[in-house]
Amino acid sequence: MTARSKRAAATLATPQVVLKALPAKSTRAAPTQRAQLEALQTENLALRAKIEALEAENRTLQIERVQPITPNELDVLRDAIIHNVSHEMKTPLLHVKAAVANLAEQYGGNKSTEYAMTATARLEGIIRNISLLAGSTDIHPTPALLRDSVEYAIRNLRRSWEHRDQVNRVQTHFADDLPPVLMDGQAMGIALQLLLDNALKFSKPPTPITINATLTPSEPQRVYVEIVDCGIGIPQDQIDKIFEAFYMVDSSSTRRFNGVGVGLAIVRLIMERHGAAITVKSEPGKGSTFCFTLPCAALGR
Ligand code: ADP
């Protein structure tokens, strides 16, 4: 209980004593007693008004106490959780992974070690995405080169054993006159990494993955970026849903990839924080094209 509400509660208790002490109304009361009674009744009314005011104040105080935390506080809290969780989970997971690999080596691969290895790979994917989410919430757009973000994405993909050799399939076609854009280079690198990761996962080698970047013909102050793959494609009725967190197209070809379903939610978040929208054109069996536009730095400043 706060000092203010304690004070309110103490004041509320006092009038009850006064009310008990009030004499019952009597028609036979002497004039002085009647005057006394009227004075007490007036005082009583004043006290009642005071009680009501204090009760109202008390209610306000209660409401103040349970007021939800502000969006800003929520952002800080969420960032701290994301950051700590990803950090604290990485080391134990590395130990588990090493132990499972050791067991598999010592006793030969069997069903149990296979399950354990698949489960650790999945956990690793989840933690990686949580870490990426941590890096994608604090966004400060400044003039930057798209090429640098693409290189950042490719460098990170090369570190993952799944994609190490596959990354060579990625080709870039950048217009010669491409100006710097207004973006957070690292966050955009994360978004490109996630989009390329999907493009590599959901298309077969040796088909190429292409990143095209040109000035938008209809809006020359914006750069148009697209990531094109010739993979399994996405059914039309799933296109809006794939950007929801933890959504995966439910098909055997998708399930094979041990996905988590948060990659595109992170991409959408990064784009939104840049005031951009991500869209997708896709045809099952033919491939997918994810596109977005970014403002040119010169005009955006
Ligand atoms: P994850 O890849 O971890 O499953 P995402 O959020 O990145 O999660 O993607 C959600 C789903 O969208 C994927 O599971 C897949 O079904 C579909 N998807 C995303 N990118 C592609 C792509 N390039 N080609 C085909 N399907 C895709």
> Cα(2)–Cα(8) distance, rounded to whole angstroms?
10
Q: According to DSSP H, which parts of 140-283 are helical? A: 146-159, 185-201, 252-255, 263-273
- Calculate how far, in angstroms, residue 123's C-alpha sits from the geometric centre of ligand 1: 17
Asked if residue 39 has pLDDT above 70, the reply is: yes
Q: What residues flank ligand 1, with Cβ below 6 Å?
A: 194, 198-199, 202, 229, 231-234, 242, 247-249, 254, 259-265, 288
**pLDDT attached to residue 73:** 75
- Calculate how far, in angstroms, residue 234's C-alpha sits from the geometric centre of ligand 1: 8
Which among 38-42, 110-114, 201-205 has the top mean pLDDT?
Answer: 201-205
> Cα(231)–Cα(54) distance, rounded to whole angstroms?
69
**Partners of residue 171 on adjacent β-strands:** 210
- Calculate how far, in angstroms, residue 201's C-alpha sits from the geometric centre of ligand 1: 9
The tens digit of pLDDT for each residue in 255-266 reads 556 666 788 988
Helix (H) or strand (E) holding 212: strand 209-215
Asked if residue 282 has pLDDT above 90, the reply is: yes
The tens digit of pLDDT for each residue in 133-142 reads 766 667 889 9
Residues 130, 79: contact at Cβ < 8 Å? no
Distance of CA 189 to the CA centre of its chain: 18
> Cα(132)–Cα(153) distance, rounded to whole angstroms?
12
The tens digit of pLDDT for each residue in 198-208 reads 999 999 999 99
Asked if residue 56 has pLDDT above 60, the reply is: yes
Asked if residue 11 has pLDDT above 70, the reply is: no
Residue 187's identity, in one-letter code, is A
The tens digit of pLDDT for each residue in 238-256 reads 998 898 876 777 755 555 5
State the chain's mean pLDDT as an integer: 81
Residues 271, 243: contact at Cβ < 8 Å? no
> Cα(63)–Cα(224) distance, rounded to whole angstroms?
49
* Ligand 1 pocket mutation pick from 122, 169, 194, 198 by most atoms within 8 angstroms of CB: 198
Which among 7-21, 24-38, 277-291 has the top mean pLDDT?
Answer: 277-291
pLDDT tier for residue 64 given thresholds of 50, 70 and 90: low
> Which ligand 1 atom is nearest residue 262's CA?
6
